[in-house]
Structure 1
Amino acid sequence: MTLLTVVRHGQTDWNLDRRIQGATDIPLNDTGRADAKAAAAVLSGGSYDAIYASPLLRATETAQIIARELGLAEPAMTRGMRERHFGDGEGLHVDDYLARYGDWHAVVPQAETLVQVGERAMDSLDRIVRASRRRSAPRAESLIVVSHGGVIRALLMHASGGTLPREGDVLRNGSVHRFIAERGTIRLLESTPA
């Protein structure tokens, strides 16, 4: 059994402007750096064995700040936890995206579906868990993974059988979501969506 604490990256200027970032590599802004420090403060009471991050700048910098604040080694990168590629929707304002495509589940040219994102993220988490078990004694591990809103939504959908996140739930920047990983699946322990 492994405790996975999945953290959404801190704010970027595109988050502030409500633009679809997807695979576009946008860095944190000053508020985003404060979000990362606030997430580290929430995590400060726990014990963690390692930290991983999506390779996109906003997640990498968030993970580096958390690692520094908690005294952890530099984060390891995991491509499978990168944000959903929104294809032709990248760079659009959220309102324009929804007006053009209808909803977040729409088929968008050149984009990944939420199901594809969930499969990719679950595969990545499984690899992280297996690798961490090979490095340590067979005790429970506690790992932090810094990722993105679309990925966390897909994980919540997977873990809840599609009941979470609820319509209108906002996964705020720096939010913390705890899962138990065992036998190739995840179970939600706690989520702080808004």
Structure 2
Amino acid sequence: MLLEKEFYYIRHGQTDWNAKGLMQGFTDIPLNETGRQQAYQAAETIRGTNIATICASPLGRALETAKILNEVLNCELIILDDLKEACFGDHEGLVDDGWFAAWKDGEFTPGGAETREQFLERATAGINKAIDRPGPVLIAAHGGLYGSIKHYFGVKDHQVLPNCALAHHIPPTATHTSWQRHFVNES
């Protein structure tokens, strides 16, 4: 279960592997120049928001994105290991030829990878650790990790969150009985 607290979520900027359609997982691929530019553009979008804390994945592509965003936010930045992308084992560095959908459906797990259920459990724990900080919190992490949020919301996970897309989430209230999600920007 996801804690009912307002939060923002941003997927890291582009990497060379993103540009080639390669699955990254735990493989620590850095941002490329396009990814850095995306992060700086996203930073301008969030300038002046009331974000109190940034929680980031320790993988370089997400952490660098978080550090760029924090140049305008100037808030506490916390690294949480549970915010890492899913581990895809021996399929990291490969193009998705259909195996990723089978993994998401729980029908296939690459050698050395997390199962979908293991990942969802870890990701939900990481998101809850993040949004339990002084907020609103901005989570800087990965497309797969955002898939776990969509899974929780019951939203189809067929479309990947674009690099540096920023989503604002507001928990249910007396007026709105379900979570509200608004995309602040989409790169």
Give TM-score scaled by structure 1 length. 0.80
In structure 2, C-alpha distance between the alignment counterparts of 1:101 and 1:55, rounded to whole Å:
23
C-alpha displacement of 1:112: 1.6
C-alpha displacement of 1:104: 4.0
One-letter code aligned to 1:158: Y
C-alpha displacement of 1:56: 0.2
Where do 1:26-175 residues align within 5 Å? Answer: 26-73=29-76, 75-95=77-97, 98=98, 103-105=102-104, 106-130=108-132, 132=133, 141-159=135-153, 161=154, 163-165=155-157, 167=158, 169-175=159-165
Match of 1:17 in 2: 20
Secondary structure at 2:85 match in 1: coil
Percent of paired sites with the same residue: 34
Match of 2:175 in 1: none
Query: What are the ranges of 5 or more consecutive residues in structure 1 without an aligned counterpart?
Result: 134-140
Q: In the alignment, which of 168, 182, 187 is matched to residue 190 of structure 1?
A: 182
- Contact preservation (8 Å) 1:114, 1:150: no
1:128-161 Cα offsets, whole Å, 9 max, x none, are: 333x25xxxxxxx2111101011101111112x2
- Contact preservation (8 Å) 2:43, 2:72: yes
Root mean square deviation, CA, Å: 2.3
1:23-81 Cα offsets, whole Å, 9 max, x none, are: 000111110101111221222242111111000000000000000122334x2100111
Secondary structure at 1:94 match in 2: coil
Distance 1:3 1:101, change over 3 A: closer
Aligned length: 175
Secondary structure at 1:76 match in 2: strand
One-letter code aligned to 2:46: L
One-letter code aligned to 1:86: F
- Contact preservation (8 Å) 1:14, 1:20: yes
Secondary structure at 2:6 match in 1: strand
